[in-house]
Structure 1
Amino acid sequence: MLLQLNDLLSAAVLIVGFSLLAYIALQNWQTAIARALCVLLLGVVVVFGGDVLLGQAEHEATIQFLLRAQWLGITLVPAGYAHLSDALLTYSGLPSKGRRWLVAFGYLCSLIFFALALSGNLLLSGGIAHGPLAQFGAGPLFGLFVLYFAATSVWGLWVVWQVRHIALTPTLRRRLTYLGATFLAPGLAVFPYLIIAGTYRVLSDNIVLLFSALGNSGVAVMITIMVYSIAFQGLLLPDRLIKQDFIRWGLYGPFVGVTIILFLRSTPVLARWFGLPAATLVIFGVMIMTVLMPIFVSKIKPYLDALVYRQDRAEIAYLRTLPRNTFTYADLRSLLENTLVVICGALRVDTGFVAAPDDGANYTIKTMVGARREVKRFVAEHPLAEVMPQIAALPPNSPGEVPPIESFLRYDGFCMLSLHGPEGDFLGALGVAYPSGGLTPEARRLIGVLAHQMELALTTVHMQQRLFDT
């Protein structure tokens, strides 16, 4: 019973891992954080794919090959941890060429350990050749690999908490808390515990299988939370759309996949109950599930949406009839905040804000990141009603072009840039702490590109508000 449960959970983790790997690669491949996460997920997929195949393998040569091939996934994880640590620090405005070389060295070490695992007895030797706990024993260099694995894991966890400490927004700190709590999930999933000398000689098979089943259940949940926490990084989209994609992917990927696996694994039992061939039940079962699962998903998705969009139910009810890229006010705040975080991180400054007109004739701060006290001081000493007309008089910047230095207004430690709509109407202002390196052409190009994203979002919301008012 425990063996079947463990096999089922291994297959479930494989489906969840592969679905999440596909999700993050397709949604956010352009960011280094996402690429590093893909390396970690690939390691999990390789190891659990090997576990699923080992459960069906019968020939000793096949078992030996699969056990060694799994080390591709095992060695990828420490390299992925080093890669993710560097990506997090770079995203937080702390790039380092020396650290990049360290990441490259990590991948080289993983390649060497994988080569040792494929041949020879320096890393792996002896062990158990058959049974549900088939595994190699520890070779002379296995202790060195354990040190490498532990060092990258601990360093990565330390980096996550350091980045969390310097995060500019409460939302980003919350996401990094999720990441820190689940950071060790890939390592816990792939580490070859049975190789540690004496483990499989002390514990019974049932105890090991029980621990394995519990661990697999936790890993599936933890890697899902881990991906969720990173799915937002670097995406200039409202949280609502990202959550919507994540929920949809989870329903059509892991949920449907695990459900089908459960059915296929229960087919032999159902065949004995009904006295029919298992192949016949598989045909009818796949046919029924192919039709019913999309219907079931479409029925439960609105209830999940209601939980996610609690703050915008009235707007969401209306926006269901409009294109998917239509924004709510919460979407606008989220997109402006995400864009500000990217700008501040790239310029290596810690404070920024966006000011825009409110429903009346006044101006308000729409969102801010970093030192709120500094933004409040600026607004108190320089009322927006006095500052904004000066910013509105600045020459607008054309999309795709580097804003000239004349488009910026330096004001009490901040550099201000006007935001304009397609017709030249004044939408508001972007303000960021003046960078220590000054407004170089590269800095102005970055601000110009991201400020245009803000202009598009503000224009969209203004157009929608006119629709709502009519």
Structure 2
Amino acid sequence: MSDELFILLSRQINEVLTAATVIVAVSMLLYNLSHGPRDRVTRASSVLLGCVSAIYVGDVLVAISRAPQTVESLLRLQWLGIAFAPAALFHLSDALLATTGLQSRGRRRRAVRVLYAFATLFFILAISTDLIVRDLLMRPLEIMQAGALFPLFVIYFGIASLFAFNNVLRARRRCLTRATYRRMTYLLFALVTPMAGTFPFSLLLPSLKEADAALLWLLINIGNLGIVLMLAFMAYPLAFFGPKKPDRMIKAELLSFLLRGPITGIAVLVVILYVPRLSFFGIPSEALMPFVAVATVMGLQWLFTIIIPIIEQKLIYTEDQEQARQLQALSQHLLTRDDAKQLLEATLAAICDYLRVPSAFVISLNGEKVTLEQQVGPLQPTLEALERAHLSALLQINSSLENGAQAHADSLRLVAWQSFWLIALRSNRGGRLIGALGIWARNTTPDLQAEEEAVFRVLYQRAARVLDDMRLQAELFANLEDIIETSAAVGLESESVRYGNAAEAARLTDPAALDSATEFSEVIWGALRDYWGGARLTDSRLLRLQQVQAQLAEQSGDAAKAVRAVLNSAIEALKPQGAYSLTSAEWMLYNILDLRFIKGQKVRDVARKLAMSDADFYRKQRIAVERVTQVILGREKQLNAERIS
């Protein structure tokens, strides 16, 4: 192979590798910004990735530029990344060291500021003078020559990099668990990537000759390939900083992101660069290229959909993650309330079509409380009429019935009521009455034929199963809310514990910093009682909250308005999704808080509207106040964590 052909191929490979570096760096930057921008390590690594992106975007633009003035301007603008990279590297190392519990006493923070000041100075000198870089060379490749003050930059780069490496080495020594020690080791070696990828080695070379071009391009491509791989490798340990999630979730999200983001982007880039240079059966390659690019994206997404579950099974959800797999399967099979209503609607529509009746409905029964769950057709009974009908007695249901076989024997006993035929819907868990299905009566007495009865049996039992699942999953979701809130609180401390900073984690949950949940719940209860004015609304323990302090500025220093805004925000956080309902179980706690405290209605009036006894109201009111307390305490812990980080 001649040198000219080798150089041509090397240039084309360099285009791909340089663009791939940009894709990986920018993808990691976007991943950081969307998965923990408030974390100090994430912010510092984002600055470093931004520097790498700026340098390699410049290389891409230089490769497609021909005018010497444009090339020189781009090479000077690259110094935005080159000059700031050492400062960002030290900034990242300081943040990593702080995660292990060794907080800066001021010296490291001052060093970060000084390094950023030097970076700004070098960047200004590089773009406006010849003191850092000078005299553009266009052959054998586009480079600048070193200026008079370039040795000062080398000293700055070397000192910042050495201290950054030393900080990460110290952080690695402080890690006490195998997992954190291993990840910090990965970072220690991965930090070589930005050091090697951002330093302008070309300025150290003597005058280049055409004969050296082949060797130079070979070295450049080997270096760029290593940088692409190391950037992708660096994404793994950095992903564990910031997100307050279990490790398995972080791994799964990172795997999906890398495959669907950078890998797909690089594949499309290769198509765009090389398909126009090929010919297929006489078809113009330029016309074919968009179709090949789209086919590449679609094919890769189909492939990833197949292989991601397999990779997760092998690398993430291993044998010791059986519970995680069960939770993943649970999330795929759970029915939301909207899902259940759609199934009920489809079932009722099928009943109406098959029996040739205009209307049907499903109600749920909880004691004497009646809830209209779904209806089809224009002819429907009113909720008041259903409540007055005493349906349990009408359907001749013995509330103590526990025999499932007997319930099944009675399952097709239709009862005429007004203009409808009613049939009881029972739970599969003991045959307990949970509701009723009504269809428009074709006659004064039920007259289903044998074939109609067989089809109706299947459809009404399907409705019973859906209604039973709705009840079961409502109980499950009620328990899941507590689990999720507890897990979120644990997640706030997980970052500190994960990297050995137990003292930091203790500060987030120090009982002296925040009152116990029980005591604080009483404070919230008093503030809600005095929501529209009273001494308990401005309790000193509430005024010490960071979220209240933040609201004081927005409320012109009015303490009562600030506390009221925090309480209202916490109540709104409990508001369910979907259409408003006074009778739905998922709206119960929000309705109690809204009607009792925000709107100031009396206990008896609220209980009557929500169709519950006074005793039941007081019990649920206590639960609602505890939920508000959990929301406020959770937000306060998160603010404390952000302040510390």
Q: TM (normalized to structure 1)?
A: 0.70
Partner of 1:101: 110
* Cα distance in 2 between the residues matched to 1:446 and 1:322: 26
Q: 1-side partners of 2:139 and 2:211: how far apart? A: 17
Match of 2:494 in 1: 338
Matched, 1:280 2:468: no
CA distance in structure 2 between the partners assigned to 1:69 and 1:320 by the alignment: 48
**Equivalent residue, structure 2, for 1:294:** 301
> Which stretch has the larger CA shift, 13-22 or 79-88?
79-88
Distance 1:350 1:205, change over 3 A: farther
Q: Which residue of 2 aligns with 1:115?
A: 124
Task: Say if 1:312 and 1:337 are closer, same or farther in 2 by CA, change over 3 A.
Answer: farther
Residues 1:126 and 2:119 are matched in the alignment: no
Residues 178-227 of structure 1 deviation map (CA, whole Å, 9 limit, x = unaligned): 10011121121121111114163597111111111111111112122222
Q: Which amino acid is the alignment partner of residue 304 of structure 1?
A: I
Secondary structure class of the residue paired with 2:134: strand
SS of the residue 2:329 aligns to:
coil
Amino acid across the alignment from 2:121: I
SS at the partner of 1:200?
coil
Unaligned runs of 5+ in 1: 353-393, 404-421, 424-444, 454-470
Structure 2 contact 496–502 (Cα < 8 Å) conserved: no
Q: Give the letter for the 2:293 counterpart.
A: V
Tell me if 1:3 matches 2:16.
Answer: no
Q: What SS does the corresponding residue of 1:73 show, helix, strand or coil? A: helix
Q: Which residue of 2 aligns with 1:375?
A: none
Residue in structure 2 matching 1:235, options 215, 239, 243 = 243
| C-alpha separation in 2, matches of 1:349 and 1:316 | 25
Counterpart amino acid of residue 239 in structure 1: D
Describe the shift of the 1:130–1:66 C-alpha distance in structure 2 as closer, same or farther (beyond 3 A).
farther
Structure 2: distance between partners of 1:203 and 1:86? 44
Out of 295, 306, 310, the position equivalent to 1:303 is 310
Is 1:449 paired with 2:637? yes
Q: Secondary structure at the residue paired with 2:131?
A: coil
The answer for the alignment partner of 1:150 in structure 2 is 158
Query: Match of 1:124, as an amino acid?
Result: V
Measured after TM superposition, the shift of residue 127 of structure 1 is 4.2
Q: What SS does the aligned partner of 2:144 have?
A: strand
- Mapping for residues 41-120 of structure 1, pairs under 5 Å: 41-93=49-101, 94-120=103-129
Match of 1:263 among 246, 271, 275: 271
* Matched residues, number: 370
- Distance in structure 2 (CA, Å) of the matches to 1:248 and 1:123: 42
Distance 1:339 1:257, change over 3 A: closer
Does 2:39 correspond to 1:31? yes
**1:190/1:200 CA distance change after superposition, 3 Å:** farther
In structure 2, do the counterparts of structure 1 residues 318 and 90 end up closer, same or farther at CA, with 3 Å as the change threshold?
Answer: closer
Give, in angstroms, the shift of residue 447 of structure 1: 13
Kindly state the Cα deviation for residue 81 of structure 1 after the two structures are TM-superposed: 1.1
C-alpha change, 1:340 and 1:180, in structure 2 (3 Å) is closer
Give the conservation status (yes or no) of the 8 Å contact 1:182–1:222.
yes
Deviations 1:97-117 (A, max 9, x none): 222121111111111111111
User: How far did 1:349 drift?
Assistant: 8.9
Unpaired segments of 5 or more residues in structure 2? 1-8, 333-476, 509-515, 525-540, 543-621, 624-632
Once the 2 structures are TM-superposed, how far is the Cα of residue 17 of structure 1 from its aligned partner? 0.8
Give, in angstroms, the shift of residue 230 of structure 1: 1.7
The answer to whether the Cα contact below 8 Å between 1:194 and 1:200 also exists between their aligned partners in 2 is no
Query: In the alignment, does 2:232 pair up with 1:224?
Result: yes
Cα distance, 1:123 vs structure 2: 0.6
Task: Report the alpha carbon displacement of residue 163 of structure 1 after superposing the two structures with TM.
Answer: 0.8
Root-mean-square deviation (CA, aligned residues, Å) is 3.6
Letter in 1 for 2:637: V
Higher Cα Rg, which structure: 2
- For 2:330 and 2:264, how far apart are their aligned partners in 1? 28
